[in-house]
Amino acid sequence: MVASSSKALCLVLLLASMASAFAADAPSITTSFTAFWSAAERQPFLQQEAAWNRDIEAPRRDIYDAVVWEKQHDQYWQARRQIWLRGRFARYPELAAGIPAEVRALQDAIAKQSARFKTLFPDADPHPPVTILLAPNFDAKSGVLRNGKPVLAFAADSLLLEHAQLDIVVPHELFHLYHAQHARIRNDGVMSDAELTLPLFEEGLATYVSGELAPGHTDSELLLQDDLGNLPSEKLPVIAGRFLGDARAKAIDVQHPEVFARWFHAAARPYQPDLPNRTGYWLGLQLIRYLRRSHSLAEITAWSPAEAQAHTLEALRQVASKSE
């Protein structure tokens, strides 16, 4: 009974720390959503947007500016925001009733997975800077606030819409946050001046870690996409060779955003006719498994951004050479 009570107390403290980690004076996101939707339901878009601005964004301005809309990186954020919000507001009639339960499920999953995460990474923050919010343009995302601190945001409405498996999503994203704090690989590897090998490494490693912390799942489940999990291993050398053609491209390139997109973006249309979208996630996972043959997980996790890019590029070359 004492151990059980201790665990319950730890859970309560962790949830309390999550609630206070951001926007200390902000109400819970469930309370904010209830206020927003009470004012916005069945109203014209401009009235809905005004309610959203007041109830959802204003109490959490820093994280919406820096992480959700990425105003510092996207000169077209206002136009994209309008499109995203219109689409999401149209879905809220079907989602509204389930959002409070999804928030509670997220809180529970974050608390449980944070404790499990420390068994693999003992130096992990016992109270990670995590926030739960609403966002139409992602389901979970690491980012950096204006003060330079890494944060992790979970979008309860997007996760509900996707029927996401939280035992996979949460450890994947907790790793991104941990890695940003300990190896300074931020924004899931999509950093200024980073080459495409860095997000390849970062997403592969986060997927690998989620498999370690949520055992028993197939690659399709870990990659959140059936056709990715069904890619045959025999195609690995050819896919690695094709990626090598893009490997030195910049992860952030406003002149050529299609290079990053064809490996990492989801979309209704295929970016490559013979490969599923988001194949970079699959390739990254295979490369981490390849690197694990000669490096420990602790060693790989400690690599700096430059070291990660160099090791990933070399692994790509070695794997691609097997097709010759």
Kindly list the strands in the beta sheet with 130-133, ordered across the sheet, starting from the edge strand earlier in the chain: 130-133, 150-155, 140-144
Q: Are 173 and 142 in contact (CB under 8 A)?
A: yes
Task: Please report the pLDDT score of residue 6 as a whole number.
Answer: 43
Side-chain-side CA neighbours of 315 within 13 Å: the count stands at 26
Task: Please report the pLDDT score of residue 22 as a whole number.
Answer: 52
Task: Please report the pLDDT score of residue 131 as a whole number.
Answer: 95
Give the Cα separation of 289 and 298 in Å (integer): 14
Task: Please report the pLDDT score of residue 150 as a whole number.
Answer: 86
Task: Please report the pLDDT score of residue 66 as a whole number.
Answer: 93
Helix H, strand E, coil C: the string for 248-260 is: CCECCCCCCHHHH
The distance of Cα 297 from the centroid of its chain, to the nearest Å, equals 20
Contacts of 147 by beta carbon, 8 Å cutoff, 6+ apart: none
Amino acid letter, 87: G
> Mean pLDDT for each consecutive 10-residue tract of the chain (324 residues)?
42 43 73 98 98 97 94 88 97 98 97 93 91 96 87 96 95 94 91 95 97 94 93 96 97 92 93 96 98 97 98 98 76
Partner residues linked to 172 by β-bridges: none
H-only helix segments in 140-296: 156-162, 166-183, 197-213, 219-222, 226-229, 236-244, 257-264, 279-291
Longest CA–CA separation in the chain, Å: 63
Question: For the chain, what percent of residues have pLDDT higher than 70?
Answer: 92
Task: Please report the pLDDT score of residue 142 as a whole number.
Answer: 85
Reported pTM? 0.85
